[in-house]
C-alpha cells in the first residue's frame, strides 16, 4: 500500500436529505471512506477540503447563474434540470465537494497522485447545471493546475458512461485543456457536445472491447498531445450492474481500466488528480465495491 497518496474527504459529501427513492446515491461517499478505513487506510491519510470560494466561481462561470443558484432563486425549470431540490445543505455540500476536487488537483501536483472521494460534476456548464451537477469541478481543477508553474496543458480523461458535455463546452475554446471522453453513445445527455476526443460506445459493450477502445484513445493522446498533468474521472456507471449505464463492463474490467489510465500517467511522469464520477446501483455496498477499484489501481489499498 502507498501511504503517501493523499485522499480528500469531508463527511458533508454524504450529508444531503433527498426525497425517498431519489436516484442519486448520496450515501456512497461515506461508504467509500468507511470501506477504505476497513482496508487499513490510516485516518491521517485523509485531507479535509474547504468549500470553494464564491470568487472562484464568479471568475469562471456566469455571474447570474452563480448568484441565483447560491441564493436559492434560480428558476424551477433550471433546478429541475440539475435534478436536486434546492437547500442550504445542497449548496454547502456542492461547494465543499468542488473545493475537494481543487484540493485534489493541488495535492496531485505535489505528490504525483491524489484522489477525491467525490467529484466529476461534468454536466455543469458556464450558465447552467444538469444531471446532478451544479458547478463543473473538473474545469475549475484544470484551471487551478494551469495557474501553477510548469503546467501549460491539462488533460481531462473522462471515463464516466455519460459524456462530460459541460466540460467539453467550457473547454472548447481553451487549447490548454484537452478533453477526452469515452461514453455511451445512446445515453444521457441526449445532446452531446464536442470534446477534443470523443469515443462513443455501443450499448452492452464488455471488458475486452472497452479496454481496446481505451488503449486506442490513450495511444492517440500520446501521438497528438503533450499534457503536463491529468484529471481522471473514474465513473463506474460503465459497470454491468449499473442502473443507468447500459454497458456491461465487469468489476475486474473497471479495475483494469483504472490501472491502464494510472499506469499511462505514471509511465509519463504525469501528476494525476482522480475523482470518482458516477455510479448508480441502488445497493450502496455493491456500488462502493466497484468504486474501490480506483483505490486498488492507485495502490491505496491491496
- Catalytic residue positions, numbered: 123
Q: Which of 196, 199, 194 is nearest to 210 (CA)?
A: 199
Distances (CA, A) of 199 to 117, 216, 218, 291: 26, 10, 11, 22
The counts of H helices and E strands in the chain are 10, 8
Is residue 116 within 8 Å of 274, Cβ to Cβ? yes
Q: Are strands 272-275 and 177-184 parallel, antiparallel or unpaired?
A: unpaired
Instruction: Report the alpha-carbon angle 97-102-108, nearest 5.
Output: 120
Strand partners, 177: 154
Is residue 196 within 8 Å of 180, Cβ to Cβ? yes
In the numeric block, the cell 454524504 is attached to 14
Indicate the SS3 state at residue 135.
Answer: coil
Whole-number Å distance between alpha carbons of 65 and 164? 19
Tell me how far apart the terminal alpha carbons of the chain are, to the nearest angstrom. Answer: 6
Biggest distance spanned by C-alpha atoms of the chain: 48
**If phi over 0 gives left and psi between -120 and 50 gives alpha, with beta otherwise, what is residue 65?**
alpha
Amino acid at each position: 500500500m502507498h501511504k503517501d497518496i493523499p485522499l480528500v474527504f469531508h463527511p458533508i459529501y454524504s450529508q444531503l436529505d433527498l426525497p425517498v427513492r431519489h436516484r442519486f446515491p448520496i450515501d456512497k461517499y461515506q461508504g467509500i471512506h468507511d470501506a477504505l478505513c476497513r482496508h487499513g487506510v490510516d485516518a491521517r491519510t485523509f485531507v479535509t477540503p474547504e468549500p470553494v470560494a464564491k470568487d472562484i466561481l464568479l471568475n469562471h462561470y456566469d455571474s447570474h447563474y452563480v448568484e441565483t443558484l447560491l441564493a436559492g432563486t434560480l428558476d424551477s425549470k433550471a433546478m429541475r434540470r440539475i435534478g436536486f431540490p434546492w437547500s442550504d445543505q445542497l449548496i454547502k455540500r456542492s461547494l465543499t465537494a468542488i473545493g475537494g476536487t481543487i484540493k485534489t488537483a493541488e495535492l496531485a501536483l505535489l505528490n504525483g497522485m491524489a484522489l477525491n472521494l467525490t467529484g466529476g460534476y461534468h454536466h455543469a456548464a458556464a450558465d447552467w447545471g444538469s444531471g446532478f451537477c451544479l458547478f463543473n469541478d473538473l474545469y475549475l481543477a484544470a484551471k487551478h493546475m494551469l495557474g501553477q508553474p510548469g503546467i501549460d496543458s491539462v488533460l481531462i480523461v473522462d471515463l464516466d458512461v455519460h459524456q462530460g458535455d459541460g466540460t467539453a463546452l467550457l473547454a472548447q475554446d481553451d487549447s490548454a485543456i484537452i478533453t477526452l471522453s469515452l461514453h455511451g453513445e445512446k445515453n444521457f445527455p441526449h445532446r452531446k457536445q464536442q470534446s477534443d476526443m470523443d469515443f462513443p460506445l455501443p450499448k452492452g459493450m464488455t471488458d475486452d472491447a472497452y479496454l481496446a477502445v481505451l488503449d486506442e484513445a490513450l495511444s492517440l493522446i500520446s501521438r497528438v498531445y503533450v499534457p503536463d498533468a491529468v484529471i481522471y474521472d473514474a465513473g463506474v456507471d460503465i459497470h454491468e450492474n449499473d442502473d443507468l449505464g447500459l454497458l456491461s463492463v465487469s468489476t475486474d474490467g473497471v479495475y483494469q481500466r483504472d490501472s491502464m489510465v494510472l499506469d499511462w500517467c505514471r509511465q509519463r511522469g504525469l501528476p494525476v488528480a482522480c475523482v470518482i464520477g458516477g455510479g448508480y446501483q441502488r445497493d450502496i455496498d455493491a456500488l462502493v465495491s466497484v468504486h474501490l477499484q480506483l483505490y486498488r489501481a492507485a495502490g491505496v489499498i491491496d
